[in-house]
A and B are shown apart, each in its own frame.
Chain A
Amino acid sequence: MKKYLSFFRLRFVMGLQYRVAALAGIVTQFVWGAMEIMIFRAFYQTDSAAFPMTLSATSSYIWLQQAFLAFFIAWMMESEIFDSIVNGNIAYELCRPVSIYNMWFARSIANRLSRAVLRCFPILLVAVFIPEPYGIAAPASFLHFILFLITLILGLMVMVSLCMLIYVLTFFTVSPQGLRILFNSTVEFFSGALIPLPFFPEKVQRIMELLPFASTQNVALRVYSGSMSRNEMEKAIVLQVFWLAVITLIGKGLCKAAEKRVTVQGG
Chain B
Amino acid sequence: MITMEHVCKSYRIAKRNAGFGEACKALFHREYETIHALSDVSFSIHDGEMVGYIGPNGAGKSSTIKILSGILTPDSGTVLVDGRIPYRNRLEHVSRIGVVFGQRSQLWWDVPVIDSFALLKDIYSIPNTQYQQSLEELTELLDLKELLRSPARQLSLGQRMRCEIAASLLHRPRILFLDEPTIGLDAVSKLAVREFILKQNKTFGTTVILTTHDMQDIEALASRIILIGKGRILMDGTLDDIKKGNGDIDRTIAELYRSYEIS
Residues of A whose CB lies within 8 Å of any CB of B are 2-3, 5-7, 10, 13-14, 17, 88-89, 91-92, 94-99, 259-264, 267
**Assuming the A-B contacts A14-B110, A263-B11, A264-B72, are A95 and B99 also in contact, with contact meaning beta carbons closer than 8 angstroms in the complex?**
yes
Smallest CB separation, A63 vs chain B (Å)? 32
13 contacts between A and B (CB under 8 A): A3-B122, A3-B123, A3-B125, A5-B122, A10-B115, A13-B111, A91-B104, A92-B101, A92-B104, A95-B94, A97-B95, A98-B91, A260-B73
- Spot the interface stretch: B63-71, B233-241, B251-259: B63-71
Q: Is the CB of B115 within 8 A of A99?
A: no
Q: Is the CB of B11 within 8 A of A6?
A: no
Interfacial chain A residues near B111, Cβ < 8 Å: 10, 13-14
- B62 interfacial contact with A, CB 8 Å: yes
Interfacial chain A residues near B115, Cβ < 8 Å: 10
* A-B residue pairs, 3 tightest by C-beta: A97-B95, A6-B122, A92-B106
Max count, chain B CB within 10 A of own CB: residue among A94, A98, A99, A260: A94
Closest Cβ neighbor of A84 among chain B residues: B104
Q: Is the CB of A17 within 8 A of B90?
A: no
Q: Is the CB of B104 within 8 A of A7?
A: no
Q: Is the CB of A267 within 8 A of B69?
A: no
In the bound complex, how far is the Cα of B75 from the Cα of A261, in angstroms?
A: 10
Smallest CB separation, A254 vs chain B (Å)? 16
Contact of A259 among B90, B122, B123 (CB under 8 A): B90
- B105 interfacial contact with A, CB 8 Å: yes
Smallest CB separation, A72 vs chain B (Å)? 25
**Assuming the A-B contacts A263-B11, A267-B62, are A95 and B125 also in contact, with contact meaning beta carbons closer than 8 angstroms in the complex?**
no
**Assuming the A-B contacts A92-B106, A264-B71, are A6 and B101 also in contact, with contact meaning beta carbons closer than 8 angstroms in the complex?**
no
Interfacial chain A residues near B70, Cβ < 8 Å: 94-95
Interfacial chain B residues near A259, Cβ < 8 Å: 90
- B119 interfacial contact with A, CB 8 Å: yes
Interfacial chain A residues near B47, Cβ < 8 Å: none
Smallest CB separation, A257 vs chain B (Å)? 11
Q: Is the CB of B69 within 8 A of A95?
A: yes
In the bound complex, how far is the Cα of B118 from the Cα of A10, in angstroms?
A: 10
- B108 interfacial contact with A, CB 8 Å: yes
Interfacial chain A residues near B66, Cβ < 8 Å: 91, 264
Closest Cβ neighbor of A10 among chain B residues: B119
Q: Is the CB of A7 within 8 A of B119?
A: yes
Interface residues of B in 212-229 (CB under 8 A from A): none
Contact of B123 among A17, A98, A262 (CB under 8 A): A98
Closest Cβ neighbor of A261 among chain B residues: B73
Q: Is the CB of A6 within 8 A of B71?
A: no
Interfacial chain B residues near A95, Cβ < 8 Å: 69-71, 94, 97, 99, 106
Closest Cβ neighbor of A87 among chain B residues: B104
In the bound complex, how far is the Cα of B70 from the Cα of A260, in angstroms?
A: 10
- B150 interfacial contact with A, CB 8 Å: no
Q: Is the CB of B94 within 8 A of A89?
A: no
Contact of A267 among B103, B110, B119 (CB under 8 A): B103
Q: B195-232 interface mask toward A, CB cutoff 8 Å, 1 = contact, 0 = none? A: 00000000000000000000000000000000000000
Max count, chain B CB within 10 A of own CB: residue among A2, A6, A267: A267
Q: A10-B115, A95-B70, A263-B72 are in contact. List 18 more A-B contacts (CB 8 A).
A: A2-B125, A3-B125, A6-B118, A6-B122, A6-B123, A10-B119, A14-B110, A89-B104, A91-B104, A92-B99, A92-B101, A95-B94, A95-B97, A96-B124, A97-B91, A98-B123, A260-B87, A264-B72
Closest Cβ neighbor of A98 among chain B residues: B123
- B92 interfacial contact with A, CB 8 Å: yes
Q: Is the CB of B72 within 8 A of A262?
A: yes
In the bound complex, how far is the Cα of B92 from the Cα of A88, in angstroms?
A: 22
Q: Is the CB of B71 within 8 A of A262?
A: yes
Smallest CB separation, A174 vs chain B (Å)? 10
Interfacial chain A residues near B69, Cβ < 8 Å: 94-95
Q: Is the CB of B103 within 8 A of A94?
A: no
Smallest CB separation, B124 vs chain A (Å)? 6
Interfacial chain B residues near A97, Cβ < 8 Å: 91-92, 94-95, 123-124
In the bound complex, how far is the Cα of B62 from the Cα of A96, in angstroms?
A: 18
Closest Cβ neighbor of A2 among chain B residues: B122
Q: Is the CB of B104 within 8 A of A94?
A: no
Smallest CB separation, B12 vs chain A (Å)? 9
**Assuming the A-B contacts A17-B110, A97-B123, A263-B11, are A89 and B105 also in contact, with contact meaning beta carbons closer than 8 angstroms in the complex?**
yes
In the bound complex, how far is the Cα of B108 from the Cα of A17, in angstroms?
A: 14
Interfacial chain A residues near B90, Cβ < 8 Å: 94, 259
Interfacial chain A residues near B103, Cβ < 8 Å: 267
Q: B119-161 interface mask toward A, CB cutoff 8 Å, 1 = contact, 0 = none? A: 1001111000000000000000000000000000000000000
Smallest CB separation, A17 vs chain B (Å)? 7
Closest Cβ neighbor of B71 among chain A residues: A94
